Amino acid sequence: MRAAQGRPVAEFGSRRAHGPDGAVLGARASYIAGCSGTACTLADRKYGTPAGGTMAHSWVQMFPDEYTAFKTYCETYPDSATLLVDTYNVLKSGVPNAIRAFKEVLLPRGITKCAIRLDSGDLTYLSCKARKMLDEAGLTECKIVASNSLDEYIIRDLLLQGAKLDSFGVGERLITSKSEPVFGGVYKLSAVEDEAGNIIPKIKISENPAKITNPHFKKVYRIFENTSGKAIADLICVHDEVIDESKPLELFDPEASWKRKIITDFTASELLVPIFRAGKLVYRQPTIEEMRAWCASQIDLQWDEVKRFENPHNYYVDLSRKLWDIKQKLLKEQS
């Protein structure tokens, strides 16, 4: 969404998702993360994600000619006509036939909201040529949608190249998490509670330092700089720790403990929210719109340096001094 610079990005990936659950839940997650909507109508029915989309190439192919396909589509869906113009030839037939269909079907009804979709070829070149043709035909309000294995890097490059694109449909590289398709999380025991109610911290040691676990029952604080309102770091603490915002707070890198700093004038916000207590549900499920708004607000709290594509600044996740000391004690005991 940031790469699109405010232009709508729709989720188009159901056909290439990892199974039906992946399609529906992926569409839901995409909308929560900021997509304008999804082409998955089942996700709309189940979760209220706005459904929308365009025609398929098969629609165009089943008619005797491209113009008839476009005309019929405009007559059937006059309020949401987005015509796919690359089934045969974008500039020689697709765009001219779309212009003709818009003028003959939509404009007489007073409808100026329409769009074409480009799904192949040089999207920068074709969008610029198509924009010129549409404008010369008086269809200045007609939008141009791009698809075709897009991701944030391609979208960024298209706009840097001057592509005349108004929105994007992103499919396989979104729904399959192409850049990071495997979640590397595993289950490890961090503490046990004995019959007397005592909490006994546990640790898993590895030859790979990154795989050494953090022991004990924990809570997480997000630390915000008061002057900017931006997040500085997340601080993992023992479950009974309380951060005093009136006192200086030491932050240090748990993998390079000599890197440390003292901060003042900060706010600490606890991140973990109880869902069940003593077997009882104590949580109100937010609506999908509330989740979407919350995600957007959290992104806004990150520094631009953390959000940049190339060489982003690390966002720090640190350990409290108490948790660090417990971890070091257990490491020494097991060495």
**For residue 79, what is the domain's CATH number?**
3.20.20.70
**Closest to 67 in 3D by CA, of 105, 109, 110:** 105
Provide the pLDDT for residue 292.
Answer: 97
Are residues 153 and 293 located together in one domain of the fold? no
What the block records as the tokens of 167 is 């929105």
Q: Is residue 186 part of a domain?
A: no
Range of the domain at 210: 191-334
Domain boundary, last residue among 140, 175, 210: 175
Q: Encode 227-290 in three state secondary structure.
A: CCCCEEEEEEEECCCCCCCCCCEEEEECCEEEEEEEECCEEEEECCCCCEECCEECCCCCCHHH
Mean pLDDT of successive 10-residue stretches along the chain, which has 335 residues: 94 91 95 95 95 93 98 96 98 98 98 96 98 98 96 96 97 90 87 94 91 95 97 96 95 86 95 95 96 96 93 94 95 88
Q: What is the pLDDT of residue 179?
A: 85
pLDDT of residue 186: 86
Same domain flag for 120 and 212: no
Q: Is residue 166 located within the same domain as residue 41?
A: yes
Q: How many Å apart are CA 216 and CA 319, to the nearest integer?
A: 12
Q: Are 150 and 212 found together in one domain?
A: no
Are 165 and 31 found together in one domain?
Answer: yes
Q: According to the model, what pLDDT value does residue 53 have?
A: 84
**How many independent structural domains does the chain possess?**
2
28 and 170 assigned to the same domain = yes
Shared domain for 223 and 294, answered yes or no, is yes
Confidence (pLDDT) at 31: 97
